[in-house]
């Protein structure tokens, strides 16, 4: 098979969703020659392509003061969109009753444009509509990654690779150990976003469409992105559920129609790596800090069930969960990191940290760690000095547990 020879980089990031975007921006800003590879023709992942445009959660509302817990590139991105007129940032200090009320709502088109602009400004090369198809390994190291391009299969090489695919695709292809769902065959359902047009919002038949706008309205059981056959079956089922909803509207002569859908269902979980450490839910809920802690998180245990409904355990104290660098380091690979939903955790922790703001913070930490490894000639990502990583991460504007104090929201928006 003829495989074209592509460019060599210091750092290649696979997946340009919330985590991958921040990883690539940070690596490039830190001086690493960086590329980001995205399977869709639009960056942003769940936020843009798959239609869930809510960025959660930058604050811990149960703290009595200084409630901002995540900043850095993710917050910079949201503030930039706000200044453009394409993001709605709520008052993070307000005493709301639900987590989703602290969501930053972004315009998907503007968000994608802002991402490409920030990546280009940082100096990263952007590969859109180009999927990872194979990985070459040399012992514990990834030696090359083959992507699908319009010119044919092309091999890219790098010193460090970062897996931000959400499904641990790179790590899995490279031979890393992974866990799918609960490890025993159960996996959370997926959801396909659809886009309604409502001509009369006052009509009672369309109240749900007006309130939810087709977001998070159907659940597809067994939706497994780690298995292409199962994923195909799930996407077909998702298409039928949206079509059935469209038929209901037509038969009821409702003043609404469905005019578009996402290109696939959005997954809540699939693979996650087995890392040098595994974030456990008790550590997450207690806010325990480790020597290698790199960021905070705040979202509740939210495991959607195949049988319907969710198993939910809300966070209700000022304790702020914190996440470890070693959970991003695959146990069996030296020059690879994972960031975003596919990091090493138990299932409950994974259901909480999968939200976008947390993924952004993890991605930024991964991008800086990769740049440090290249700059300092470190052969294994497990050997990156976490004290150095944490100090340098703090200087980027991120909030690093144990180094940076929590921030005041109103002071933050004045910057």
Beta strands at 4-14 and 34-37: parallel, antiparallel or unpaired: parallel
- The pTM assigned to this predicted structure is 0.96
Contact partners, residue 90, CB within 8 Å, separation at least 6? 96, 101, 102, 103, 104
Arithmetic mean of pLDDT, 274-302: 97
Nearest CA-CA partner of 174 in 213, 220, 217, 143: 143
Question: Cα–Cα distance between 242 and 192 in angstroms, integer?
Answer: 8
Directed axis angle between helix 356-376 and helix 386-395, to 10°? 120
CA distances from 281 to 286, 323, 343, 352, 366 (A): 8, 11, 14, 9, 22
398 in helix, strand or coil?
Answer: coil
Give pLDDT, residue 204. 83
Residue for token pair 């940076």: 404
Question: Cα–Cα distance between 337 and 176 in angstroms, integer?
Answer: 11
Question: Cα–Cα distance between 21 and 362 in angstroms, integer?
Answer: 11
pLDDT band at 132 (very low <50, low <70, confident <90, very high): very high
Give pLDDT, residue 212. 82
308-357 pLDDT, tens digit each? 889 999 998 889 999 999 999 999 999 999 999 999 999 999 999 999 99
26-49 pLDDT, tens digit each? 999 999 999 999 999 999 999 999
Which residues, in sequence order, are bridge partners of residue 137? 142
Give me the CATH topology for the region 4-183+269-412.
FAD/NAD(P)-binding domain (3.50.50)
Task: Determine what percent of the chain falls in helix, strand and coil, rounding each to the nearest 5.
Answer: 35, 25, 40
pLDDT exceeds cutoff 90 at 80? yes
Q: Taking every pair of C-alpha atoms in the chain, what is the biggest distance, in angstroms?
A: 66
CA distances from 312 to 19, 48, 189, 349, 369 (A): 24, 26, 15, 12, 33
pLDDT exceeds cutoff 80 at 413? no
Q: Which helix (H) or strand (E) holds 389?
A: helix 386-395
| Token pair belonging to 296 | 């905070």
Instruction: Write the DSSP symbol of residue 259.
Output: E
Count Cβ atoms within 10 A of the Cβ of residue 404 and give its class: 0-12 exposed, 13-18 middle, 19 or more buried: middle
332 HSE (CA, 13 A, CB side): 14
pLDDT band at 12 (very low <50, low <70, confident <90, very high): very high
Q: Are 306 and 221 in contact (CB under 8 A)?
A: yes
| Token pair belonging to 337 | 């990191």
Domain ranges of the chain: 4-183+269-412, 190-261
Give pLDDT, residue 415. 65
Arithmetic mean of pLDDT, 11-16: 98
Terminal-residue alpha carbon distance, the chain: 54
How far is C-alpha 94 from the geometric centre of its chain's CA atoms?
A: 26
Counting every residue written for the chain, the total comes to 415
Q: Are 362 and 370 in contact (CB under 8 A)?
A: no
Region of poorest pLDDT, from 9-18, 99-108, 157-166, 405-414 = 405-414
Mean pLDDT across the chain: 95
Q: Which helix (H) or strand (E) holds 413?
A: helix 409-414
pLDDT exceeds cutoff 70 at 294? yes
Give pLDDT, residue 308. 80
């Amino acid at each position: 098979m003829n495989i074209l020879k592509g460019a060599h980089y210091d750092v290649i990031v696979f997946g340009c969703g919330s985590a991958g975007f921040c990883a690539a921006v940070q690596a490039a800003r830190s001086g690493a020659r960086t590329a980001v590879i995205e399977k869709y023709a639009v960056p942003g992942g769940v936020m843009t392509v798959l239609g869930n445009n809510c960025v959660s959660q930058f604050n811990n509302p149960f703290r009595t003061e200084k409630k901002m817990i995540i900043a850095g590139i993710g917050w910079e991105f949201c503030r930039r969109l706000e200044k453009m007129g394409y993001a709605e940032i709520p008052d993070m200090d307000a005493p709301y009753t639900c987590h989703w009320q602290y969501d930053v709502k972004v315009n998907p088109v503007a968000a994608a444009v802002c991402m490409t602009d920030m990546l280009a400004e940082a100096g990263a090369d952007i590969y859109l509509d180009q999927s990872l198809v194979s990985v070459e390994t040399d012992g514990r190291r990834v030696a090359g990654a083959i992507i699908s391009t319009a010119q044919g299969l092309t091999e890219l090489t790098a010193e460090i690779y970062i897996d931000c695919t959400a499904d641990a695709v790179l790590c899995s292809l490279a031979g890393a150990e992974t866990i799918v769902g609960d490890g025993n065959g159960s996996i959370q359902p997926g959801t396909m976003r659809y886009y309604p047009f409502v001509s009369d919002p006052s009509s009672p038949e369309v109240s749900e469409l007006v309130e939810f706008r087709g977001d998070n309205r159907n659940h597809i059981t067994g939706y497994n992105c780690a298995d292409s056959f199962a994923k195909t079956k799930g996407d077909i089922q998702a298409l039928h559920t949206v079509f059935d909803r469209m038929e209901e509207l037509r038969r009821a002569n409702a003043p609404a129609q469905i005019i578009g859908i996402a290109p696939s269902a959005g997954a809540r979980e699939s693979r996650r790596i087995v890392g040098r450490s595994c974030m456990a839910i008790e550590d997450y809920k207690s806010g325990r800090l480790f020597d290698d802690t790199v960021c905070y998180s705040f979202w509740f245990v939210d495991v959607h069930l195949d049988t319907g409904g969710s198993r939910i355990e809300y966070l209700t104290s000022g304790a702020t969960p914190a996440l470890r660098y070693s959970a991003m380091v695959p146990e069996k690979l030296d020059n690879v990191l994972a960031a975003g939903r596919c990091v090493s955790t138990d299932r409950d922790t994974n259901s909480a940290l999968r939200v976008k703001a947390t993924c952004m913070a993890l991605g930024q930490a991964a991008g800086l760690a990769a740049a440090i490894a290249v700059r300092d000639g470190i052969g294994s990502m497990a050997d990156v000095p976490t004290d150095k990583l944490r100090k340098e991460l703090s200087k980027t504007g991120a909030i690093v547990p144990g180094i940076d104090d929590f921030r005041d929201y109103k002071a933050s928006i004045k910057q």
